[in-house]
Chain A
Amino acid sequence: MNATVATTLRARLDALPSQSLLGTQEYFVNMGPQHPSTHGVLRLVLKLDGETVHQVIPVLGYIHRGIEKICEHSNYRQLVHLTDRMDYLSALANNWAATMVVEKAAAMETNSRIEAIRTLVTELQRIHSHQLWWGVFGMDLGAFTPFFYGFRDREILTDVFERTIGGRLTMNYIQPGGVMHDIHPELVADVKAFLAVFKPRLDEYEALLSENVIVQERLRGVGVLTAQDAVALGATGPVLRASGVAHDLRKAEPYGLYGQVAFDVPVGSRGDCWDRYAVRMQEMRQSIRIVEQLLDNIPEGKHFLVKPAAKIKVKPGVWYSHLETARGVLGAMLVSTGGEAPYRVHFRTPNFNNLWAVTTTATGGRVADLVAILSSLDLVIPDIDR
């Protein structure tokens, strides 16, 4: 083949209208609202060229329930249980966020026992949430077995919650003025038994999935989110930390007893799917550390400091508080004009803000990469839609 022919071919290819050298056409395809890897009713409209993703357009609202509007018609005690239904995997942290802002607004006191219990159960739920994520992550990559292992180990913790709280998914446990029930007498023993089982299981998780060459090939260098992009796109939590920003509200603005326990904040360096994966795996170990420190050191005291039926009144003003759930910063804003019901409540939910990272990181990758990215962002759809 001589140079002329090659040049002509090149010129002809260049003259083609599409971006593709093969002259293929882009097409649109709907991923969701019913799709196994969108984990709920998230709909992504994909512009594809063959397997290559050119654009991702999230379409939301399939599970929007207007929680903020309902809050305007609820009193300060009632609105807490609505937060269970946002990020249902971090129900306790959500309860705490709502409780925290109400307690701040109504100047309610807590004691160290309440704070210790809150810290303990929330940290347990971080493990609980990451366990589910790990299983689902494996399944999104095509490995079924991690899903069952994740759920098997999560079940132990769910039973622990069930004994103390009474709920398995929607908790409504952390209330303005305390926690709904005192911890179950068996809680400490139960959690210790769980940790004894779970710590070796974590190593198994690593052997089964983390160290697997296919997983590493699928994740490394895929869906890179730089630190600048992560902050600009409002990402928080493990997604932000995987990009190299060591922002964790448990350290930055300690609430509960986080200021008094020793733990590290795992931080990634590349911001790819692998870093997001590794950060969450390490976070489970750090959460175990926190739980172990708290278990034997729960102070004595009352678990509820106000009368359950007491009316909570708030003077006019604006309050905002935020904390770190398993997925990032959950903020709660409360606007009051006085009285028993808020004038306006707004929740800054981590998933709503983390979602948009997919629009930049998935372009140029394959469909399979998109699935890995979605899974590494660990989205809970009701938290996006609220």
Chain B
Amino acid sequence: MSDDLVHPAATPAGTAALLPGPSGGAVAVAGPWLDTAGSVGAVRKGIASLLGGMRVTGRYVARPSTVVTQHYPENRETLRVPERFRGALRFHHDADGYHGCTVCRICEDQCPNRSIVITQREKGALTKKELDTFIWRLDACTFCNTCVMVCPFNVLHFGPGFESAVYDRRLLVYTLNGYAGPTAALLNKQADPDARKAACEPRDPFCGPTVLQALAEKRAARRKAAEAEAAQGVGLKSPAAFEKSAARTAPDPVPVPGPVPVPAPVPVPTQPGSVEAADVG
């Protein structure tokens, strides 16, 4: 390989002095070799090797302190989840319960699986762009952390909640923001507390419109467009095919008028590790 083709990152400067430098090459492995060529010696060595293994396991059985089992649900109190652990996506609210989301939609755009859907208030209280619902689909999330990385306002972070098992898949669709309304910066400019209150509308984790409904609307629009294309004979897919693929996307039939009838908001127990999407009042 010629020098001009070497990836520039392959030889970063500045570390050569610290590290011992390249050395070493191919070494033949033999490993702990048991020569079992002789007959009597073979039996003796074989038995010795077996006893060696039994010594290892015997040492552990003799010392119960080597047990590493954790008694999981009982040790919730002492369980320490690292702060960077990607459990449940959380939406940052400040001390007043205000968020900083400006609906720039970078996270929605960068999410590889489209597991974030943001809806905008039709008519903002203070500005044109105000957050209505920030919807996170845990069922589609791969926990790649990209949304957290790209958010310019540090609104998103991953919390430690890892106990996200539910019996109904639709319960994996969360609304993360505590209220629909303008950002903390705008609200703090309002001197009147009542004006602030009026600008905000509370949201809870399972309030509508859920992402499924939002997607259903998008799908309906796309189906219309596809039908129009098919009528002109330019679409790759037949409307029937579209119907089929649409049916596979959603667990519930579309379209649903009004809020999708998800089961009533399950009271999320506030135990450590549970999904605490509603951590603001």
Residues of B in contact with A, size category: 35 or more
Q: Does B242 contact A (CB under 8 A)?
A: no
> Are A299 and B34 within 8 A (Cβ)?
no
> Are A110 and B145 within 8 A (Cβ)?
no
Knowing A253-B1, A265-B26, A299-B14 are in contact, say whether A166-B49 is a contact too (CB < 8 A).
Answer: no
> Are B143 and A170 within 8 A (Cβ)?
yes
A-B contact count (CB 8 A): 182
Q: Which of A7-15, A41-49, A208-216, A368-376 contacts B (4 or more CB under 8 A)?
A: A208-216
> Are A265 and B27 within 8 A (Cβ)?
yes
> Are A211 and B34 within 8 A (Cβ)?
yes
Knowing A166-B86, A299-B18 are in contact, say whether A264-B13 is a contact too (CB < 8 A).
Answer: no
Q: Does B265 contact A (CB under 8 A)?
A: no
Partner of A210, one of B11, B31, B68, B106: B31
Which residues of B are found within 8 Å of A211, using beta-carbon distances? 32, 34, 49, 52-53
Q: In chain B, what residue has the closest Cβ to A308?
A: B149
> Are B8 and A109 within 8 A (Cβ)?
yes
Residues of A in contact with B, size category: 35 or more
Q: In chain A, what residue has the closest Cβ to B6?
A: A253
Q: Does A184 contact B (CB under 8 A)?
A: yes
Assembled-state Cα–Cα distance A279/B29 (Å): 6
Q: Does B189 contact A (CB under 8 A)?
A: no
> Are A213 and B29 within 8 A (Cβ)?
no
> Are B84 and A165 within 8 A (Cβ)?
yes
> Are A78 and B18 within 8 A (Cβ)?
no
Instruction: Report the minimum CB–CB distance from B206 to chain A (whole Å).
Output: 26
> Are A112 and B13 within 8 A (Cβ)?
yes
User: Residues of A at under 8 Å CB distance from B?
Assistant: 74-75, 77-78, 81-82, 84, 100, 103-104, 109-112, 115-116, 145, 152, 155, 159, 162-167, 170, 172, 175, 180-181, 184, 204, 206-214, 216-217, 246, 251, 253-257, 259-269, 274-275, 277-279, 281-282, 293-294, 297, 299, 308-309, 321
Query: Can you list 5 A-B pairs, Cβ within 8 angstroms, ordered by A?
Result: A112-B12, A209-B53, A246-B26, A261-B22, A293-B20
| 14 extra A-B contacts, CB within 8 A, seeds A213-B49, A253-B10, A299-B15 | A77-B110, A159-B82, A162-B84, A163-B84, A167-B145, A175-B149, A206-B31, A212-B53, A213-B34, A254-B10, A265-B27, A294-B19, A297-B18, A309-B106
Q: What 3 pairs across the A-B complex have the smallest Cβ distances?
A: A246-B26, A278-B31, A112-B12
